[in-house]
Amino acid sequence: MVSVAAINSDEVFEAQAAVAEEPVQANPFAAVARAMRGRWIKTVALGAFLSPAVAIIGYISGTQLFESQAILRVYPQESNILYATGEDSVLKIFSSFVKAETTYVASHPVMERSVQKLSVTRPDLADGLTATDMARSVNIRRSDSLIVLKTLSKDRVFAAQKLDAVIASYLALKSEAEEARSTVRLSELHAREMDLIERLAALRANQLETGGEFGLNALAKAHIEKIAQVDALAARKSEVTATLAALETEDISSSADTSDQEIMRATLLDRAMADLSFERAKLKSHLAGFRAGYGDKSNLRFQRKIASKIDEIAVIELAMSNRRDQIRVLGQTGALTAASNTGEDTTLAEIRSLLVKVSKQLDNARREARDLNRRRIDLDGIETEITAAERLLEETRRALEVIRLESGRALPGYAVVMSPPSRTLEPAEDTQKMMMATGFAGGIGVALAVMLVLGFSDRGVRFAENLLPVKKQLPVRQVSDAGADDSHAADLLRNELQVQCLRKPRLVGSAPVIAVTSVQSGPSTDCARALAESFARARMKVLFIDADIANASRGDGTTGWRDLLLGSKIKLHRTDDKPGLVSIGKGFADQLDDTAVSVTMVRSALTRAAKPFDVVVVSTGGMQDCLSARFVLSNADVGVLFVTPDVTRATVLNLVDQLDHLPANGSIAVMRHALPGDPWLAVRT
């Protein structure tokens, strides 16, 4: 009987493969390289297919863009004003105006108007074009007093038409704005002019109604005459009152007092003459002042004032002439009532009647003088208002003329087209080649991205190095691209198992039990059979047991493992071409179900079956499918996990603890069908 040697194969294998093992790195580039390992050929193939296709699509989608350029120049309203004044403020104002005009060219109203123009001239290309799209397609910048417009378009003519539309819209909107501004100012001044004309008409009508048939000068003259009449009547009333008082006195000397009354009357007339003389002198002084100050004026208003002063002087001179006549008559007659001193005395009744008559005349004269004075004052105020209204009307009409003459010159400058939109024959930008190169690179990038996504999303083990985190619990002893039943790989695995170190001492003479398992049922059976045949070729007595009884419907029609578990005697199957190899199948399907197997049954069956053999190789089936697989592993000396690259890595990592603790001496992992890019394929075969 041959036993498995108990040497420390970890140290031997680590010394041989130290160069091939790679340490776990946190470098992201290493993770990308690991994800792409084994996929470079597919990446190149996919890139070779996608790159030309995407490059062709890019070339077709590329366009030739034609550029058009136009220049507007802004001039100041007055030539040489920018530098002739020597003031920085003028330059700053003009610079601000140019900036404002540049901003206005790029404004939404201008772009919207240009889109409307294009929709009429080029409806085929302007369909769906908005003001925002227009503003984005036209590049507008300022250079000193120049406004430069540039645009790109697939159509050479349409590029120039876009700039034509923008410039025409800008100039049209500026003209409309200037016209609207002038119209508003003119309308306001026209309204003010009409109000002043209506006000003048109302004032003149009020002047006619107040003055009646008299003008201001006539009223002044009439008022002076009425004042003189009032003075004369007041004096006459005083004389009559004095005479009446003297007659009613019983004193004999009353008649002698008549001469005193006459003297008093003469004194009053003399005082009135002095007052009138003073008033005439004052009026003449005023007249001389007017003639000195306004002698060279031809205004009708000043001529009226001079004529009014002359009339007032004439009225005062007439009053003075009347006073002289009264003094002369008083000196001749010597009596108030025009009666002679030698004549018959006037009766008291006649004197009283005369006093009443004179009083009434005096009251009427005073009322008439007061009315004339009121009318003169009203007319003077109306005349002042008419003069002010005429001055305002003259200023308004002068402002209207200024606005009409300076229309279009309200702003600091104006813009003209210095260079019309150009039309180039050669395209300014050709994106077809660039798009083709971009598409070619994009195809490669897409292929690389697809493979990277597949690499990072792949949950399989793929490469044996992915089990490095659990190498202490589940070391990978073999990595081979051979199949599960490959004999050479089985021989190499047999040698690895023979140098597997033992954790626990094993009784000499007892056959070691090697349990070959996998994640899912099926693949481990071929691997276990090939391993048993390898031991048989090494001239050992080998027992191969197919213990994969997970599916109750599966059976080989003869006695086998199920019968052995039940304690029945079974018939061993020997192979003529492989001496030393004895096989035990699954047994009858109706004998025992996988769910009815216990660990005691497995231990007893393996103990009884292993006695006459050197090595026992058991195929346990899948650990996720077969419940009894763990029982077999717990009674085995060494466990072998059969792994392929497509096995889920998470599942393998979940089974590591069981594979490490259930067998007496732990477990090893074997990878078959390894990918060509596996780095361990060259050292662990």
Q: What is the rounded average pLDDT for all residues in the chain?
A: 78
Q: What does DSSP say about strands 667-671 and 476-479: parallel, antiparallel, or unpaired? A: parallel
Cα angle 269, 270, 273 (rounded to 5 degrees) comes to 90
Helices and strands per DSSP (H, E), number in the chain: 20, 13
Architecture of domain 9-18+465-682: 3-Layer(aba) Sandwich (3.40)
The residues, any chain, with a CB within 8 Å of residue 272's CB and separated by 6 or more, are: 231, 235, 323
pLDDT at 95: 82
pLDDT at 640: 93
CATH 3.40.50.300 maps onto the chain at: 9-18+465-682
pLDDT at 358: 83
pLDDT at 515: 93
Cα–Cα distance measured from residue 442 to residue 448, given in angstroms and rounded to the nearest whole number: 10
Give bridge partners of residue 544 from the DSSP assignment: 583, 617
Give bridge partners of residue 414 from the DSSP assignment: 75
Cα angle 338, 343, 349 (rounded to 5 degrees) comes to 65
pLDDT at 641: 92
Among all chains, which residue has been given the structure tokens 């998470």? 650
> Quick check: 659 and 467 in contact, CB under 8 A?
no
Report, as ranges of residue numbers, the positions in the chain whose pLDDT lies below 50: 1-25, 250-256, 333-346, 552-553
Q: Which strand ranges, in their side-by-side order, compose the sheet holding 573-574?
A: 476-479, 667-671, 638-643, 513-518, 615-622, 542-546, 581-584, 573-574
Cα angle 176, 180, 183 (rounded to 5 degrees) comes to 140
Using alpha carbons, select from 614, 619, 637 the residue that is nearest to residue 538. Answer: 614
> Quick check: 47 and 440 in contact, CB under 8 A?
no
pLDDT at 250: 45
Using alpha carbons, select from 243, 264, 254, 245 the residue that is nearest to residue 336. Answer: 243
Please give the helix or strand (H or E) that residue 572 lies within, else none.
none
Among all chains, which residue has been given the structure tokens 């470098």? 27
Cα–Cα distance measured from residue 677 to residue 462, given in angstroms and rounded to the nearest whole number: 9
- From residue 15, how far is each of 9, 10, 643, 678 by CA, in Å? 10, 8, 24, 20
Using alpha carbons, select from 278, 255, 640 the residue that is nearest to residue 474. Answer: 640
What HEC string does 228-278 produce?
A: HHHHHHHHHHHHHHHHHHHHCCCCHHHHHHHHHHHHHHHHHHHHHHHHHHH
What's the pTM? Answer: 0.47
Cα–Cα distance measured from residue 262 to residue 347, given in angstroms and rounded to the nearest whole number: 19
